[in-house]
Structure 1
Amino acid sequence: MSSRTTTVTAYVEDVSPGSGALPPRAWYASSDAASLSLNGIWAFRLSRTADAEDDSFAEVGYDAGDWARVEVPGHWVLQGHGSPVYTNHLYPFPVDPPRVPTENPTGDHLRVFDLPADWPGPSGGGAVLRFDGVESCARVWLNGTDLGEFKGSRLPHEFAVGHLLRARGNVLAVRVHQWSAGSYLEDQDQWWLPGVFRDVTLLHRPAGCALDFFVHASYDHVSGEGTLRVDSDVDGRVTVPDLGVDTATGEPVTVPVEPWSAELPRLYDGVLATQGERIPLRIGFRTVELADGLIRVNGRAVLFKGVNRHEWHPEKGRALDLATMREDVLLMKRHNVNAVRTSHYPPHPAFLDLCDELGLWVIDECDLETHGFAEQGWRDNPVDDDRWTPALLDRAARMVERDKNHPSVVLWSLGNEAGTGRGLTAMAEWIHGRDPSRLVHYEGDHTCRDTDVYSRMYTGHAEVERVGRGLDGGPHRRRELPYLLCEYAHAMGNGPGGLADYQRLFEAHDRLQGGFVWEWIDHGIAHPGLGYAYGGDFGEELHDGNFVCDGLLFPDRRPSPGLVEFKKVIEPVTIEGDASGGTVRVRNGYDFAGLSALAFTWSYRVDGETVDSGFLPVPPLEPGESAEVKLPAPPATAPAGEALWTVRALLAAGTAWAPEGHVVAWGQFGRSARPAPSVAAAGGPVPGEGLITLGPASFDARTGALRRVGAVDITGLRLDVWRATTDNDDGAASQPDARYGRLWRRLGLHRVQHRLDAVESGDDALTVRTRVAPAAGEIGLSTVYRWTSDGPRLGLTVSVTPEGDWTVPLPRLGIRFGLSSADRVRWYGGGPGEAYPDSATASEVGRWQSTVDELQTPYVRPQENGARAGVRWAEIGGLRVEGDPEFFLTARRWTTEQLDAAAHRTDLAPGDTVWVNLDHGLHGLGSQSCGPGPLPRYFLRAEPARFTFVLSEVSA
């Protein structure tokens, strides 16, 4: 027993990549050779330690009848065996490389299978057993023979097994350890989820088949010709019928072609035929180069409008099926995303097939991150330890060799947040030597010694602009490298704010070649009691809470308001009207595509009602071109009011990723402003028994509190300055002095008190004077409510004067009140979704309606949400409210305090009162949960303010 235990410990804690696996090679979905999927239900046994059970389960005839059952691909902790663990970068075990804990959950997997009746016999060649992904370390047996072991969770590993196969009763045994030496290289910001989570496949390898091949398909943008050469380890022929190509492997051929790009993803179907096999090829001709300090594809500089994508499903974790992967790509395309960084590991290979087919630029990232070593000043970091270099090179090779034939992959990334060191240099040198047709990316070394781009994370707007203007220094400047924000705009909770400000910088400076929002999807785990669970919900002693929920999609893949905003910010067509509203300027912002695939429509609205509409003739502009297009004359019969033009760019015909009529871009601009609402006082307050009457309203005679407008009961109307802090308000722990949520709580803004100073009945107004201030401080807000009426309507003017030394901005400034009965909401203003000062680009002015429940945005951790911006008027619960100036509208069935206290959506219980906020201003969002806070122009500063509302009962 002790000898066997030593053997187990040795391979688990060995820094080598493994033993017994075949060399890496190109991945392809199919050929005419036989294959057998071994996905499905496997027998499963879980042990607490790596040496708790012997290896007899791998023998033929072992009785596993009393074992549990798990689905492969899958993670055993999501199937009732153990629990998930979430950390951002801290290792959930002692940092003592390469050693791992004794308590090392180990899953033994067993599958018995028969070969299909038509499976070729031994004389027909060999076979390989392929694992596309296993976390984190596995040992494999077939029919009792030890094939070897491997590490590298998100990478393929194959074993030669043809000599071991039987017609019936083959026994495949796999032992998977949660922790291994490889875990030190896989400290990505995600759930730790052990298991066989990608496909397991048996592949027949006919005699004379190609073990590996490399498709080289370049494009010369000057001549319009592509050069194709397919290198193979065995001789064969390459045919591409649409191009008339029929040539030998290794021989280049040059022909006129349509190039591949993310906007126009032209693929040519071809075949690589060897003596034993026919392999389908999907060939995209394109050339990637670093020229004049810019990343150029097919001779043109590209602007990346990208996202970082972890693989995620709320029930299956990283075990994604093809339909889910396709849904991701379709959602990206429909929201104008043109690029994806595969953070922080190579994705399932089928995802790259979809990127080739539908069109996305890809930064393919190696399965490498050692972020936890930052806690000890990067001491003992494996990437600067020569003993680990073979494992690093193995990971680089398995990524490059697997994915080298995908035209969508334009950059290789060495990994993420792994510090610096000799191992990274070795990886870069190997990749540059193996595939000089692509560029190399890595963010962690700002000297850019080994990379072709200057990449940064979460850099603030001001520094990004300095880089764009060439005012930054450093070794990367001397090489004039292009600049990428490989992560920016942290999409955690309500946000990110400031996207439009970043995009303006990207488009203003050539060197700024765009960025990748962090990240694509919230990693919430479906939970029957919590809705979606996050870090700490499974009893983890060490965890990073809901930091794992920081995506543009909710866990169920519903787009968040952040994704809707991003779509608008990065739209590839700019539509802007002139001051008079007589013409519109249309600019083609695509890098490669013209506008011939788009149709343009216009509508003319007055006070949100469409008066007229039609199609707008726009010339088929080429990339970068713009044109002034004349709008039709406004209808002569149009009523008076606020007039707005809305012009949309739609798909003229259906595509592979969206139907005809899909909105690609839109612009809205005004012709006339709206008249500001006002109330001319027609009478003064009338005292009564305990009440004061003013027009349609009743007030408490002692406190001046509004009780009713017509038949609409109103409760608790008062100034409100607090919001349930967002993840971005609470900020990153590394920036404690700039975390506004913390500063607001320190000031006590979440528990302000309202002091009544006076209730004054004048000839034409009721005036209520108050002071709003937190306990334990001397700051406050002198607040005056002045009520007037013209008979049927009630006017409220709120005047706010700060007192004391206000050193931080306010969360919000407006009034809050409760309605006893409300459900439907109608409003004229920004919509249909939520918007905040620095995330309002996608807010379209119109007439909208919703239920109160539909106004809520279901962030995994409840927080401030649901505001509609630029509201002119709203109707809710029988009450109509008009504002001067425009206001933010929020309505919910719980108080702000209840929202602030909730940890999960299931903590929120609807009450009998609907609480309405009419806000004069809101503080911006930013993305300080990891990135920068709001820009100063989006601060809600504590300064004198005056705003007016007109209230009336909605007529039946």
Structure 2
Amino acid sequence: MTVFHPAEYEDPRPWRGAESPRSWNVDSDAAKLSLNGDWRFHFSPSVIVAGDESFVEPKFDDQKWDTIPVPSHWVLQGDGKYGLPAYQNINYPFVVDPPHVPDENPTGDYRVTFDLPAGWDLGDGKSLVRFDGVESWAKVFVNGTELGYSTGSRLPVEFDATSVLKSKDNVLAVRVHQWSAATYLEDQDQWFMPGIFREVTLLHRPKDSVVDYFVHVSYDEKDGSATLKVDCDPSGRVTIPELSIDTATGAEVKIPKVSPWTAETPRLYDGTLTTAGEKVPLRVGFRSVRIEDSQIKVNGQRVLFKGVNRHEFQPESGRLVDRATMLKDVLLMKSHNVNAVRTSHYPPHPYFLSLCDEYGLWVIDECDLETHGFDFVGWEGNPVDSDDEGWISALLNRVGRMVERDKNHPSIIIWSMGNEAGVGKNIGKMADWVRSRDSSRPIHYEGDRSCKYTDMYSRMYAVQAEVDLIGQHKEVPLDDPELDAKRRQLPFILCEYAHAMGNGPGGLSEYQELFEKYPRCQGGFIWEWIDHGLPAIAADGTKYYKYGGDFGEQTHDSNFVCDGLLFPDRTPTPGLIEFKKVIEPVKISFEGGKVWIRNGRDFADLSDLAFAWRVEQNGKVIDQGQIEVPTIAAGETVAVELGVPTINGHGEAWLQVSANLKAKTVWADEGHELAWAQFLLSDKSDAINGVTAGAVQVVEGSKGYTVGAGTFDSKGQLVKFGDLDVSLARVDIWRAMTDNDVGPHCTPGTWNGKNWLAAGLDRVLYRVNSAAIEGGALVVKTVAAPAIYGRSLEAVYRWTSPDGEALRLDLHVTPRGDWSALALPRLGVRFGLPKGLSRVEWFGLGPGEAYADTHTAARVGQYALSIDEMQTPYVYPQENGSRAEVRWAEVTDESGQAGLRVEGHPDFALTARRWTSEELHAAKHTPDLVAGDNVWLNVDYGLNGIGTGSCGPGVLPKYLLAAKETDFGFTLRPFKK
């Protein structure tokens, strides 16, 4: 009888033959050799047909093998030859049967040949082969000798190759399996993309070089003093010339005065750690972190996290992110007022953490752990609650490697045990180990809602009303009185909130108000930083991005992987622009001729900012100047007298005050705007105030009616305005649904999209009951009704002309039937206009899109864009591009000679696009949107809010567009240049 033994890659133990984990110090003066480059590669789709194991031998002939760049993911190489990416949010891609995985286990065999550099002394110390990231299981050989194997995809591993290295013709061979027991610990919401995707380096570790070191600091906010102690194996000396420090390792040094490190003031002191065999550069930031008064305090001060969750992602290379792109991320965060990062859901490349140290970002460093797929089997067999020594050792190994690698980064102020891995007792064992190794940072883990093992209360997607209760320490009690009492005294953060998927997120301002109101509520982290679309080119050459299901996955979570504040090419979405405004660090108000300025920073004053004002009337600047502002300390408010000009003439006048950088910084240029506010100085008036409706009679002809420049058919349908043909000018209640309308993880009871489709709001039918001249107006009575149910909207159009040219519509809408459980997607009028129209100029909110609950970042002004520029290219097409509170808009051709003007009574929401809402709703990727024979103009009374229901709460009640009796109107005028 044949006995089958478990495959080695199904052993949950984390590694064999590896060196003990240590702090990252690749910038030391010890010799190193990068092994990145083109490697020989052989791919097998299954372990059953995996390549000849003799490939590890130096004499193996690999000339017929392919080459592949290292680092890289093999599924992003070879145009599908080596398999394809696969996206899952929660589900495992195979049966949940730990620690087993299928035989259909893609396997990559790698080989590279290298020589040692001149002067590399094999007799001095050790030579280590270091891998900074391999997914998910790797066995390593040098010159035919096995060094060991490793798991922990986003963690480093080092093997001692000293005894088998030669001066020349060394062969490093690696077998990598995509699936392993470790995959059960790496079920993060991301693409599955195997391979050696971070650097491979040969490191010389001379005799008496640094085995490991740990920089311990403290800071006393009362007197500005600090302490420093650097533990090191072996012993050596620490020098920091700026602080006149020259001391032995292991000795604590008291420093009478330092500038502390914070995310706002990231002060680093450069030094050197020297042992007999090596010099290691140090960048020391002095700060303290503690839990006190139900708050996370840094340097004695409560901090407010204005954060993002960041997966590592670059469209062309997956989780291989180059240093320039890491820096771009940091610069984008800083310039958009983001001050914190949660490294979801694994430690990032350590260079990113160095950037956080240098530029200033609070960091929650998260362990490479998620077992979310066990939710589908009732968490049975979850390794986080297992007594199996293999799983325990794997979990402790993961958290240990994170802490040891990253412990010397001042930006890291919280350790996180992982994400969505259940509530198992092994989380407690991990937390205990971390506390024993590093007591200077508190512990986070969202899955421990009881806070048995953690130092803070963390939640995902709690609705605003619940956050309000938590802020008051009035959350729903736990069954365990002791744990309940403990939790009520802990600080609260939303480690994930405001799911930034597609159009949205909405409701940010309401969250921020709670964070600023309650000291216990210390902010949160938007999910997430970037859309993870993979680049593709359509048949016509159009570039677009693919998502889950586009690679033939049997199971997938579609575009749920595209849920970021950045588009895949790192262009900010409207969501990031909104977030920047909501979390701006300076709050500005205007009252009694004074500008009131509040410093919302936690530490820094506002001496780095210049304040400017300007007055715009009817969208044109009529005066401007600078404001002399005294130094304002963190948390303080001052009032400054401001003389503004007397407003003459008609139209709206707005005062805008902005806070801008006085000088160039390492993260933004001089003049970069951090905060702003607008204030109305004159009455907001009807755009056609003073014009008498119905001053000109309606003319009835043999084929219809004429009202001013409007031509109507016999049923009262507008078919021409001036020289412009008009199609289907009628009441419209449908808009393409957003991700937030139809999200699979929406908070129960807030799923508008599901209700809309069930009610048939996407397939409304129309009936004209009458068209007749009444009291000098063309009055058209219609019914718009979805099929099946007894709901309808009766619409009465009253068309008049005040001057024989303009065409005014006064619309009265009355809902019939039961609409109590339904919000309307939109309510307004849609027009089909000639496709030759191409530009829009408007006065209202802009320049970007704005909806009921996402308009904080929009300013009242006069703007001009092409119709194509008005579209927001969400990876998954959906409702987008509406401009809110528009007073007037002109839609013209490129020459500006033909078109029309729309004037509000007093304002409206405006959308202009080259496809219908129905075509937009049906599209799956951006190339599906093809310009048609019309420009479709929506002039809306209102649109339903956006919310964040793709994962979390839907639209807040005050932003729902209720079906109620409504009066709405506007005036059309032929465009005159």
* Pairwise TM-score range, normalised by the shorter structure: over 0.9
Q: Which residue of 1 aligns with 2:703?
A: 690
Q: CA contact under 8 A between 1:416 and 1:443: conserved in structure 2?
A: yes
Deviation (angstroms), 1:954: 1.3
Q: Which residue of 1 aligns with 2:940?
A: 919
Over the matched positions of the two proteins, sequence identity in percent amounts to 56
Does residue 502 in structure 1 map to residue 516 in structure 2? no
Does residue 942 in structure 1 map to residue 963 in structure 2? yes
Deviation (angstroms), 1:690: 1.2
Does residue 590 in structure 1 map to residue 587 in structure 2? no
Aligned-partner residue type, residue 298 of structure 2: V
Does residue 198 in structure 1 map to residue 198 in structure 2? yes
Does residue 721 in structure 1 map to residue 733 in structure 2? yes
State the alpha-carbon separation in 1 of the partners of residues 687 and 352 from structure 2: 54
Q: CA RMSD in A?
A: 1.3
State the alpha-carbon separation in 2 of the partners of residues 238 and 478 from structure 1: 41
Q: CA contact under 8 A between 2:746 and 2:952: conserved in structure 1?
A: no
Q: Which residue of 2 aligns with 1:888?
A: 909
SS of 2:352's equivalent in the other structure is helix
Change (3 A) 1:723 1:298: same
Q: Which residue of 2 aligns with 1:676?
A: 686
Deviation (angstroms), 1:744: 0.5
Q: Which residue of 1 aligns with 2:875?
A: 860
Q: Which residue of 2 aligns with 1:398?
A: 401
Does residue 796 in structure 1 map to residue 809 in structure 2? yes
> For 1:231-268, what per-residue CA distance to the aligned partner results, in whole angstroms no more than 9, with x for missing partners?
00111100001111110000111211100000000001
State the alpha-carbon separation in 2 of the partners of residues 752 and 32 from structure 1: 72
> For 1:173-210, what per-residue CA distance to the aligned partner results, in whole angstroms no more than 9, with x for missing partners?
11110000000000010011000011111111111111
Q: Which residue of 2 aligns with 1:418?
A: 421
Aligned-partner residue type, residue 66 of structure 1: K
Aligned-partner residue type, residue 263 of structure 1: E
Q: CA contact under 8 A between 1:749 and 1:774: conserved in structure 2?
A: yes
Aligned-partner residue type, residue 674 of structure 1: K
State the alpha-carbon separation in 1 of the partners of residues 77 and 519 from structure 2: 49
Aligned-partner residue type, residue 903 of structure 2: E
Deviation (angstroms), 1:476: 4.7
Q: Which residue of 2 aligns with 1:114?
A: 115
Q: Name whichever of 587-596 and 886-895 sits farther off.
A: 886-895
State the alpha-carbon separation in 2 of the partners of residues 434 and 289 from structure 1: 16
SS of 1:122's equivalent in the other structure is coil
Q: CA contact under 8 A between 1:29 and 1:350: conserved in structure 2?
A: no
Q: Which residue of 1 aligns with 2:930?
A: 909
SS of 1:275's equivalent in the other structure is coil
Does residue 430 in structure 1 map to residue 438 in structure 2? no
Aligned-partner residue type, residue 900 of structure 1: H
> For 1:806-841, what per-residue CA distance to the aligned partner results, in whole angstroms no more than 9, with x for missing partners?
021100001100110211110001011011111110
Q: Which residue of 1 aligns with 2:386?
A: 385
Deviation (angstroms), 1:709: 2.3
Q: Which residue of 1 aligns with 2:97?
A: 96
Question: Structure 2 matches for 1:267-286, cutoff 5 A?
Answer: 267-286=268-287
Q: CA contact under 8 A between 2:746 and 2:950: conserved in structure 1?
A: no
Aligned equivalent of 1:897, options 918, 921, 925? 918
> For 1:681-704, what per-residue CA distance to the aligned partner results, in whole angstroms no more than 9, with x for missing partners?
22111122313111222111x121
Does residue 67 in structure 1 map to residue 70 in structure 2? no
Aligned-partner residue type, residue 841 of structure 1: T
Does residue 478 in structure 1 map to residue 457 in structure 2? no
Question: Structure 2 matches for 1:552-591, cutoff 5 A?
Answer: 552-578=565-591, 582-591=593-602
Deviation (angstroms), 1:39: 1.1
Deviation (angstroms), 1:586: 0.7
Aligned equivalent of 2:537, options 492, 505, 528? 528
State the alpha-carbon separation in 2 of the partners of residues 647 and 262 from structure 1: 26
State the alpha-carbon separation in 2 of the partners of residues 29 and 587 from structure 1: 43
Q: Which residue of 2 aligns with 1:38?
A: 35
State the alpha-carbon separation in 2 of the partners of residues 223 and 880 from structure 1: 65
Question: Structure 2 matches for 1:171-250, cutoff 5 A?
Answer: 171-250=171-250
State the alpha-carbon separation in 2 of the partners of residues 494 and 40 from structure 1: 40
Q: Which residue of 1 aligns with 2:299?
A: 298
State the alpha-carbon separation in 1 of the partners of residues 363 and 503 from structure 2: 27
Deviation (angstroms), 1:53: 2.2
Change (3 A) 1:737 1:222: closer
State the alpha-carbon separation in 2 of the partners of residues 477 and 879 from structure 1: 65
Deviation (angstroms), 1:763: 4.1
SS of 1:328's equivalent in the other structure is helix
TM-score by length of 2: 0.96
Does residue 742 in structure 1 map to residue 742 in structure 2? no
Q: Which residue of 2 aligns with 1:14?
A: 11
SS of 1:373's equivalent in the other structure is helix
Q: Which residue of 2 aligns with 1:838?
A: 853
State the alpha-carbon separation in 2 of the partners of residues 196 and 99 from structure 1: 22
Aligned-partner residue type, residue 33 of structure 1: A
State the alpha-carbon separation in 2 of the partners of residues 456 and 651 from structure 1: 35
State the alpha-carbon separation in 1 of the partners of residues 715 and 154 from structure 2: 66
Does residue 28 in structure 1 map to residue 25 in structure 2? yes
Q: Which residue of 1 aligns with 2:718?
A: 706
Deviation (angstroms), 1:674: 2.4
Q: Which residue of 1 aligns with 2:144?
A: 144
Q: CA contact under 8 A between 1:454 and 1:476: conserved in structure 2?
A: no
State the alpha-carbon separation in 1 of the partners of residues 301 and 580 from structure 2: 23
State the alpha-carbon separation in 1 of the partners of residues 509 and 857 from structure 2: 10
Q: CA contact under 8 A between 1:43 and 1:110: conserved in structure 2?
A: yes
Deviation (angstroms), 1:736: 6.6
> For 1:342-389, what per-residue CA distance to the aligned partner results, in whole angstroms no more than 9, with x for missing partners?
000000010000000000000000000000111111111101112111
SS of 1:564's equivalent in the other structure is helix
Change (3 A) 1:476 1:349: farther
Does residue 488 in structure 1 map to residue 497 in structure 2? yes
State the alpha-carbon separation in 2 of the partners of residues 885 and 941 from structure 1: 20
Deviation (angstroms), 1:913: 0.8
Aligned equivalent of 1:730, options 738, 742, 752? 742
Aligned-partner residue type, residue 130 of structure 2: R
List alignment gaps of at least 5 residues for structure 1: none
State the alpha-carbon separation in 2 of the partners of residues 762 and 443 from structure 1: 65
Q: CA contact under 8 A between 1:731 and 1:740: conserved in structure 2?
A: no
SS of 1:563's equivalent in the other structure is helix
SS of 1:750's equivalent in the other structure is coil
> For 1:263-284, what per-residue CA distance to the aligned partner results, in whole angstroms no more than 9, with x for missing partners?
0000010000000110000110
SS of 1:16's equivalent in the other structure is coil
> For 1:290-338, what per-residue CA distance to the aligned partner results, in whole angstroms no more than 9, with x for missing partners?
1122100001010000000000111100011101111111111011000
Q: Which residue of 2 aligns with 1:370?
A: 371
Does residue 258 in structure 1 map to residue 259 in structure 2? yes
SS of 2:331's equivalent in the other structure is helix
State the alpha-carbon separation in 2 of the partners of residues 435 and 642 from structure 1: 59
List alignment gaps of at least 5 residues for structure 2: 893-898
Q: CA contact under 8 A between 1:926 and 1:933: conserved in structure 2?
A: yes
TM-score by length of 1: 0.98
Q: Which residue of 1 aligns with 2:792?
A: 780
Change (3 A) 1:583 1:903: same
Deviation (angstroms), 1:163: 2.3
Q: Which residue of 1 aligns with 2:126?
A: 126
State the alpha-carbon separation in 2 of the partners of residues 37 and 122 from structure 1: 17
Aligned residues: 947
Deviation (angstroms), 1:35: 0.9
State the alpha-carbon separation in 2 of the partners of residues 535 and 484 from structure 1: 30
Aligned equivalent of 1:810, options 815, 824, 830? 824
> For 1:388-422, what per-residue CA distance to the aligned partner results, in whole angstroms no more than 9, with x for missing partners?
11100000100000000000000000000000122
Deviation (angstroms), 1:935: 0.6
